[in-house]
Structure 1
Amino acid sequence: MRVHFHGAAGMVTGSMHLVEAAGHRVLLDCGMIQGSRELEALNAAEFPFDPAALDALVLSHAHIDHIGRVPLLVKRGYRGPIYTQAATADLMPIMLLDSAALAAGDAERANRERRNGEPPVEPLYTSHDVQVALRQLQPLPYDARSEILPGVELALRDAGHILGSAIVELWADGRKLVFSGDLGPRAAPILRDPTPIAEADLVLLESTYGDRNHRERASTVAELGQIFEDAWHDRGNVCIPAFAVGRTQELLYWFAAHWEQWQLARWRIFLDSPMASKVVAAYDRHHDLFDERARRVWNGRPSPFRLPNLRATPTREESVALNRIGAGAIIIAGSGMANGGRILHHFKQNLGRREAHVVFVGYQAEGTLGRRIVDGARWVRIHGHDYHVHARVHTVGGLSAHADQRGLIEWYEHFDPPPPLALVHGEDKAREALAGEIGERHGIVATLPHPGMRLTV
Structure 2
Amino acid sequence: MDVRFLGGAREVGRSAVLVDDSLLLDFGLLTGNPMRTPIETPTPDAVVVSHGHLDHAGAVPALLSGSDRPPVHWTPPTRELALTLARDTLKLHGGTLQCPFTETDVQRLTQVSRTHGYGETFTAAGYEVTFFDAGHIPGSAHVLVEDDDTRLLYTGDFHVDDQRLVPGTTARPDADAVICESTYYGVEHDPRSDVESRFVESVQETLWEGGTVVVPAFAIGRTQELLLVCDAHDVPCYVDGMGKDVTRMLGHHPDFVRDADALKRATSHARFVTGRDGQRKRITDQKAAIVTTSGMLSGGPAMTYVPEIRANPTNKVTMTGYQVEGTPGRDLLETGSAEFDGRRMPVSAQVEQYDFSAHADEAGLRAFLDDYRDARVLVNHGDDCERFAADLRADGYDASAPAVGDTATL
Which category of TM-score, normalised to the shorter sequence, fits these structures? Answer: over 0.9
The alpha carbon displacement at 1:357 in A equals 0.3
| Aligned partners of 1:192 and 1:289 also within 8 Å | no
Rounded to whole Å, the distance in 2 between the matches of 1:290 and 1:306 is 17
Kindly provide the amino acid, as one letter, of the partner of residue 62 in structure 2.
Answer: L
When residues 78 and 32 of structure 1 are mapped into structure 2, their CA distance, relative to the original with a 3 A threshold, is farther
The alpha carbon displacement at 1:445 in A equals 4.4
- Identify which of 356, 359, 362 aligns with 1:402: 359
Pair 1:419 & 2:409 matched: no
Structure 2 counterpart SS, 1:414: helix
Percent sequence identity over matched residues? 29
Rounded to whole Å, the distance in 1 between the matches of 2:298 and 2:243 is 16
| Aligned partners of 2:293 and 2:301 also within 8 Å | yes
Rounded to whole Å, the distance in 2 between the matches of 1:243 and 1:173 is 40
Over residues 160-213 of structure 1, what are the superposed CA-to-partner deviations in whole Å (9 max), with x where a residue is unaligned?
A: 101100000000141111000000241222212213324212110001101101
Larger Rg: 1
Pair 1:31 & 2:12 matched: no
Rounded to whole Å, the distance in 2 between the matches of 1:437 and 1:189 is 32
Rounded to whole Å, the distance in 1 between the matches of 2:40 and 2:387 is 29
| Residue matched to 2:329 | 370
Over residues 356-392 of structure 1, what are the superposed CA-to-partner deviations in whole Å (9 max), with x where a residue is unaligned?
A: 10011111111111111122x1332211112112111
When residues 198 and 129 of structure 1 are mapped into structure 2, their CA distance, relative to the original with a 3 A threshold, is closer
Kindly provide the amino acid, as one letter, of the partner of residue 125 in structure 1.
Answer: F
Structure 1 counterpart SS, 2:285: coil
Kindly provide the amino acid, as one letter, of the partner of residue 451 in structure 1.
Answer: V
Pair 1:284 & 2:268 matched: no
| Residue matched to 1:89 | 79
Rounded to whole Å, the distance in 1 between the matches of 2:89 and 2:228 is 26
- Identify which of 157, 167, 171 aligns with 1:196: 171
In the alignment, structure 1 segments of 5+ residues that lack a partner are 108-120
| Residue matched to 1:13 | 13
Structure 2 counterpart SS, 1:434: helix
Q: Which moved more, 1:380-389 or 1:204-213?
A: 380-389
Rounded to whole Å, the distance in 2 between the matches of 1:237 and 1:128 is 42
| Residue matched to 2:157 | 182
When residues 342 and 250 of structure 1 are mapped into structure 2, their CA distance, relative to the original with a 3 A threshold, is same
Structure 2 counterpart SS, 1:446: strand
Rounded to whole Å, the distance in 2 between the matches of 1:101 and 1:413 is 43
Pair 1:236 & 2:211 matched: yes
The alpha carbon displacement at 1:218 in A equals 1.2
Rounded to whole Å, the distance in 1 between the matches of 2:171 and 2:390 is 22
Structure 1 counterpart SS, 2:400: coil
The alpha carbon displacement at 1:31 in A equals 0.2
| Aligned partners of 2:128 and 2:145 also within 8 Å | yes
| Aligned partners of 1:187 and 1:193 also within 8 Å | yes
| Residue matched to 2:305 | 346
| Aligned partners of 1:203 and 1:422 also within 8 Å | yes
| Aligned partners of 1:101 and 1:127 also within 8 Å | no
| Aligned partners of 2:133 and 2:171 also within 8 Å | no
| Residue matched to 2:194 | 219
The alpha carbon displacement at 1:215 in A equals 0.6
Kindly provide the amino acid, as one letter, of the partner of residue 57 in structure 2.
Answer: I
| Aligned partners of 1:103 and 1:125 also within 8 Å | no
Structure 2 counterpart SS, 1:413: helix
Structure 2 counterpart SS, 1:297: helix
Pair 1:434 & 2:399 matched: no
| Residue matched to 1:390 | 348
| Residue matched to 1:111 | none
The alpha carbon displacement at 1:27 in A equals 0.5
When the two chains are superposed, the root-mean-square deviation of aligned CA atoms in Å is: 2.0
| Residue matched to 1:134 | 110
Structure 2 counterpart SS, 1:210: coil
| Residue matched to 1:116 | none
| Aligned partners of 1:162 and 1:184 also within 8 Å | no
State the TM-score, normalizing by the size of structure 1: 0.85
| Residue matched to 1:115 | none
| Aligned partners of 1:101 and 1:126 also within 8 Å | no
| Aligned partners of 1:32 and 1:69 also within 8 Å | yes
| Residue matched to 1:306 | 268
Structure 2 counterpart SS, 1:256: helix
Rounded to whole Å, the distance in 1 between the matches of 2:150 and 2:55 is 28
Rounded to whole Å, the distance in 1 between the matches of 2:279 and 2:41 is 47
| Residue matched to 1:171 | 146
Kindly provide the amino acid, as one letter, of the partner of residue 271 in structure 1.
Answer: V
The alpha carbon displacement at 1:436 in A equals 4.3
Kindly provide the amino acid, as one letter, of the partner of residue 404 in structure 1.
Answer: D
When residues 77 and 201 of structure 1 are mapped into structure 2, their CA distance, relative to the original with a 3 A threshold, is farther
| Count of aligned positions | 409
